């Protein structure tokens, strides 16, 4: 590490203003602060001087995503060899390696395109490179079907960074979760690659699917009235679905990491689950079809509900900021996610739209919460007077 630090310190004068490579200042600084805590600190007393900067915070989120990512890689191989009828003859390592080699190019494309655009904008503005894409770069691949073409990942990532972040001023200014903006863009621009059974299973090299094997997700089966799901497989993640969304168990491990470290907001997580349970129970009571009659708690372990509740709804930038607002915000996400999922058979996954919709209304929720607090304090002041 000392050699790396010496390299950065030696090259720093060459990227300062007026130097030959001044246009690389933001790039140089971003890589330096990735490895080391920067020396610059605030000069006023209004900030907490702490070693935990935004890069370290984003690093913990990436760490929390690792269990779901690793399980997603294994599941891709599991689904692939299951489609070929070769599960009995395939080892754990072979399944994981297959999934790893399928997911790695997607992650590389996401980071190269996203960070490339961020570096360009930072240099153009003369600002430091924002750290937010450290998380968005891994979230975007994890919410995509495995068969999404790489060029679509690149286009969606570029759209999310430019129109989901940079037009609002960059990290900390965006009103929507960038990863969900990327998925929404692909869903509405290229619906054929984001829906249907074939997109969830990497069937490359398979001449014929094994008899009786289906690549339909549990939600797609539920829409058709096939509401009986393998609860255990759905919980551990051995079902078709987006790369990182299938394993509720791995997602819960990530949730524990976020809560213990204080990075993720447990209020939003809990309220989102409560909202989903409330709407699930309500639909069970007034069920008029098989999908509405599906046990309410099963909604929590299929589709993107768990992943959205833990990693998407809790985005500190686009979520509500007040304590009461977080409870309202999360609860409404849970309600809307299940409502959209069940009521609209053409779109069985509603978590994406529910979060994006509540991202839009989060500032309004906070506004009314703050105004309510002001009114209560004014009333107390008038009574005392």
Residue 87 confidence (pLDDT)? 86
Asked if pLDDT for residue 385 goes beyond 80, the answer is: no
- Residue 25 pLDDT level (bands cut at 50, 70, 90): low
- Tokens matching residue 187: 């869903």
For 26-76, write each residue's pLDDT tens digit. Answer: 555 655 665 555 566 666 655 555 555 666 778 889 999 999 999 999 999
Residue 86 confidence (pLDDT)? 84
CA distances from 322 to 14, 70, 198, 339 (A): 45, 34, 42, 25
Residue 361 confidence (pLDDT)? 95
Residue 346 confidence (pLDDT)? 67
Residue 270 confidence (pLDDT)? 96
Look at 145 and 209; give whichever has higher pLDDT: 145
Mean pLDDT of the chain: 82
> Cα–Cα distance between 192 and 201 in angstroms, integer?
14
CA distances from 270 to 63, 72, 235, 259, 373 (A): 21, 24, 18, 11, 23
Residues 6+ apart with CB under 8 A from 94: 77, 81
> Cα–Cα distance between 26 and 99 in angstroms, integer?
35
Contact 26, 38 (CB under 8 A): no
Residue 339 confidence (pLDDT)? 92
Compute the half-sphere exposure of residue 293: CA atoms within 13 Å on the CB side of its CA: 9
pTM of the entire predicted model: 0.84
For 151-182, write each residue's pLDDT tens digit. Answer: 999 999 999 999 888 888 777 788 999 999 99
> Cα–Cα distance between 72 and 12 in angstroms, integer?
40
- Residue 311 pLDDT level (bands cut at 50, 70, 90): very high
For 185-215, write each residue's pLDDT tens digit. Answer: 998 898 877 776 677 787 665 554 444 455 6
Residue 45 confidence (pLDDT)? 57
Look at 79 and 195; give whichever has higher pLDDT: 79
Residue 185 confidence (pLDDT)? 93
Residues 6+ apart with CB under 8 A from 197: 214, 215, 216, 220, 240
> Cα–Cα distance between 367 and 375 in angstroms, integer?
12
Mean pLDDT of 119-139: 76
Residue 241's nearest CA partner among 68, 95, 85, 62 is 68
- Tokens matching residue 53: 């900067």
**Chain position carrying tokens 């080391």:** 36
């Amino acid at each position: 590490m000392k050699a790396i630090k010496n390299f950065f310190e030696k090259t720093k004068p060459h990227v300062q203003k007026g130097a030959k490579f001044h246009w690389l200042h933001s790039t140089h600084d971003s890589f330096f602060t990735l490895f080391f805590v920067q020396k610059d600190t605030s000069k006023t007393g209004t900030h907490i001087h702490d070693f935990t900067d935004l890069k370290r915070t984003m690093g913990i989120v990436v760490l929390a995503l690792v269990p779901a990512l690793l399980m997603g890689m294994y599941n891709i191989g599991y689904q692939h060899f299951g489609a070929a009828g070769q599960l009995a003859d395939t080892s754990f390592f072979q399944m994981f390696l297959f999934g790893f080699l399928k997911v790695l190019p997607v992650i590389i494309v996401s980071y190269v395109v996203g960070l490339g655009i961020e570096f360009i904008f930072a240099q153009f503005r003369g600002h430091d490179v924002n750290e937010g894409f450290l998380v968005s770069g891994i979230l975007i691949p994890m919410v995509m079907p495995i068969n999404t073409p790489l060029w679509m990942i690149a286009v969606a990532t570029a759209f999310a960074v430019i129109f989901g972040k940079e037009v609002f001023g960059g990290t900390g200014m965006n009103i929507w979760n960038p990863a969900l903006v990327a998925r929404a863009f692909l869903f509405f621009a290229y619906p054929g690659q984001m829906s249907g059974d074939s997109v969830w299973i990497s069937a490359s090299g398979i001449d014929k699917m094994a008899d009786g094997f289906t690549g339909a997700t549990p939600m797609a089966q539920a829409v058709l009235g096939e509401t009986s799901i393998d609860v255990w497989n759905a919980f551990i993640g051995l079902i078709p679905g987006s790369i990182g969304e299938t394993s509720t168990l791995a997602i819960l491990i990530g949730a524990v990491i976020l809560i213990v470290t204080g990075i993720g907001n447990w209020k939003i997580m809990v309220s989102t689950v409560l909202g989903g349970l409330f709407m699930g129970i309500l639909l069970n009571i007034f069920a008029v079809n098989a999908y509405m009659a599906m046990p309410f708690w099963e909604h929590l372990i299929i589709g993107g509900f768990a992943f959205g509740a833990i990693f998407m709804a809790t985005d500190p930038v686009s979520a509500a900021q007040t304590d009461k607002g977080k409870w309202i915000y999360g609860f409404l996400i849970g309600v809307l996610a299940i409502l959209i999922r069940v009521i609209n058979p053409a779109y069985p996954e509603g978590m994406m739209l529910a979060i994006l919709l509540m991202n839009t209304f989060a500032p309004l929720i906070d506004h009314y919460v703050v105004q309510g607090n002001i009114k209560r304090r004014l009333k107390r002041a008038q009574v005392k007077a």
